[in-house]
Amino acid sequence: MHNEQIELWQHHHTFNVEKKAIEKRTLIVVILTFVTMIAEIIFGWITNSMALLADGWHMGTHAFALGVSLFRHSYEG
């Protein structure tokens, strides 16, 4: 038979405890991603770098997805 105790494997399900702190950190990530996107597009355009332009537009998809996540969490009940 097993001699293990179930309490060692259990954990608490506590959600939305630090919701404002999490939203603030997500906003910072969205802003950093957006600024990086703009910088890559601008410098890709200036230097004729297809890699920077492509990565800049790709960063836009990340900024959009993170923005959707932030929007969803800020209006969640």
- The answer to whether the predicted template modeling score (pTM) of the entire model surpasses 0.75 is no
Q: Give the pLDDT confidence score for residue 63 in this predicted structure.
A: 93
- Pick out the chain residues at pLDDT < 70: 1-2, 14-17, 74, 76-77
In a domain, 64, yes or no: yes
In a domain, 37, yes or no: yes
In a domain, 41, yes or no: yes
Using one digit for the tens of pLDDT, what is the confidence trace for 61-75? 999 999 998 888 767
In a domain, 43, yes or no: yes
Q: In the structure, how many helices (H) and strands (E) does the chain have?
A: 2, 0
Distance of alpha carbon 48 from alpha carbon 22, whole angstroms: 38
In a domain, 42, yes or no: yes
| Domains: count for the chain | 1
Q: Give the pLDDT confidence score for residue 6 in this predicted structure.
A: 76
Kindly report the backbone phi and psi dihedral angles of residue 17, in degrees, each rounded to the nearest multiple of 5, phi listed first: -75, -45
The H or E element that residue 52 is part of is helix 50-74
Domain range for 36: 30-77
In sign, the C-alpha dihedral spanning 61, 67, 70, 72 is: negative
